[in-house]
Amino acid sequence: MNDDSSKNWRETLVGFVETPVFRHFVTTIILLNAITLGLETYPVEADWLARLIPIADAVIVSIFVIELTLKIIAYGPRFFKSGWNWFDLIIVGVSLFPDAGAFTVLRAMRILRVFRLFSVIPDMRKVIEALMKAIPGMGAILAVLALMFYVSAVMATKLFGGAEPLFETLGASAFTLFQVMTLEGWAMDVARPTMETQPFAWLFFLIFIVLTSFAVLNMFIAVIVDSLQSKHFDDEEERAAKSEAEAQSDRDLLQAELAAIRAELQALRAEIKS
């Protein structure tokens, strides 16, 4: 009896923490927290506002602690099986460190609390899950890009290092080529000064840009888009399977009811005949 009452109490609490009202309330608190953290970066001249911000911050952290406590009580050991719950627990735990001494750096990380929107808003959570699934493919592309960078940096150091300070060492060449890859001032700041002493340097830079900026980086986008589409298809298949299971359950129930009606009719006929 006690087990049944405890189970019902937990189910009621789970239903409460999963209601849209509770979820929207937590989302609102997270947004308010983002606003207060942003206000803390500005010099506050009003005394009432300077006193209000720490109070608001303490209230927000308290609400987060209460939220996690309710979820731990409701879900029990299941709470720790979710990566998003661990994420929430770590972020809120960091927020509890005092803003002094060696904990100042950790306390500055409380802006990470804004990332809790990922675990609250389903659409944002789906995007993050798709990005996580794309990491293996992105890792292979990163390896290709790193190899291209290393070969190109060695070649640039050998070709232009004697005349240009931007390519004096392997590290300097890699950093300069990273600027070229981002297409930020590559022509005026890098390519043209190098071409003054090395007239055919433009060919090296054009090939490097085509291979990195236009080819490899676009492969990143392709992998991410493919992962998002796969996530979308998986969700559609899951919804279709759920709908089919519900339809099958309805059909089974209907067949059971028809069988019961037939049994009753047969019993009624047998009773009439007798």
Total length of the chain: 274
The residue to which tokens 């028809």 are assigned: 258
What pLDDT does residue 152 have?
92
Q: What is the pTM of this model?
A: 0.55
| CATH class of the domain whose range is 126-259 | mainly alpha
pLDDT value for 254: 83
Per-domain residue ranges of the chain = 2-120, 126-259
The series of mean pLDDT values per 10 residues for the chain, 274 residues long, is 64 84 86 81 74 83 89 87 83 73 61 73 76 77 87 91 83 91 87 87 90 81 77 68 76 81 79 72
pLDDT at position 108: 63
CATH number at 2-120: 1.20.120.350
State the pLDDT at residue 40: 75
Spatial distance between the Cα atoms of 140 and 220, rounded to a whole number of angstroms: 10
pLDDT of residue 155: 92
pLDDT at residue number 154: 93
Buried b / exposed e along 68-106 (16+ C-beta atoms within 10 A): beebeebbeeebeeeeebebbbebbebbebeeeeeeeee
